[in-house]
């Protein structure tokens, strides 16, 4: 058995685009020739409530379809971090928007990474709405769960038409942050 499985949890509040980020991650995994399952949970509110999207990426077909202990977690709000971080594997990677998340978990065993995704999207790309794509590019480069090329290929058809170039730019900006 050589099945490699990666569980990823993306969390924030409604409107930050964690569900779309999860969908693109799943699409990119398929582009990489992997299997993927993406699911999502959210409250009744379109914006502001808790939102979560989870993705499993594996080399073999996925039977158990839900995340139980994520290898990677992204938190785009303090509330999301506090609510969902408990299941993160001790050796897991935690990625935060470090200007929206002030209090990090006391458990120092996690690999903790982060940047001001939202600020960078707002100031450099002039579209706060693509903060999720900046995060996604960063995630791909920092963890290697999907390739950057696959992420690029996942964009057409995965985002509203007319916004492809902006999203790709945001992804590339996020990826570049890892080397900054």
Report in angstroms how near the CB of residue 130 gets to other proteins at its nearest.
21
Rounded distance, CA 51 to CA 40, Å? 8
* Helices (H) then strands (E): counts for the chain: 6, 6
Report in angstroms how near the CB of residue 40 gets to other proteins at its nearest.
6
> Which is closer to other proteins, CB of 66 or CB of 107?
66
Residues 6+ apart with CB under 8 A from 50: 11, 13, 14, 42, 43, 79, 80, 83
Rounded distance, CA 140 to CA 154, Å? 13
Report in angstroms how near the CB of residue 34 gets to other proteins at its nearest.
10
> Which is closer to other proteins, CB of 8 or CB of 23?
23
Report in angstroms how near the CB of residue 70 gets to other proteins at its nearest.
14
Q: How many residues does the chain have?
A: 180
> Which is closer to other proteins, CB of 56 or CB of 134?
56
For other proteins, the binding residues (CB under 8 A) are 23, 26-27, 30, 35-44, 62-66, 68
Report in angstroms how near the CB of residue 177 gets to other proteins at its nearest.
26
Rounded distance, CA 131 to CA 11, Å? 13
Are 129 and 166 in contact by the 8 Å Cβ rule? The answer is: no
> Which is closer to other proteins, CB of 20 or CB of 101?
20
> Which is closer to other proteins, CB of 39 or CB of 78?
39
Are 78 and 84 in contact by the 8 Å Cβ rule? The answer is: no
């Amino acid at each position: 058995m050589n099945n490699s499985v990666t569980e990823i949890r993306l969390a924030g509040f409604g409107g930050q685009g964690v569900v779309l980020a999860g969908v693109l991650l799943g699409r990119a995994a398929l582009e990489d020739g992997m299997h993927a399952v993406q699911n999502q949970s959210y409250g009744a509110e379109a914006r502001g409530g808790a939102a979560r999207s989870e993705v499993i990426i594996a080399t073999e077909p996925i039977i158990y379809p839900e995340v139980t202990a994520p290898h990677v977690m992204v938190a785009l709000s303090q509330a999301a971090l506090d609510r969902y971080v408990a299941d993160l594997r001790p050796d897991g990677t935690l990625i935060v928007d470090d200007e929206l998340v002030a209090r990090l978990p006391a458990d120092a065993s996690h690999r903790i990474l982060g940047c001001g995704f939202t600020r960078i999207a707002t100031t450099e790309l002039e579209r706060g709405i693509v903060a999720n794509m900046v995060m996604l590019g960063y995630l791909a480069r920092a963890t290697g769960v999907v390739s950057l090329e696959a992420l690029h290929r996942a964009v057409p058809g995965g985002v509203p038409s007319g916004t492809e170039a902006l999203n790709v730019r945001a992804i590339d900006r996020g990826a570049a942050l890892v080397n900054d």
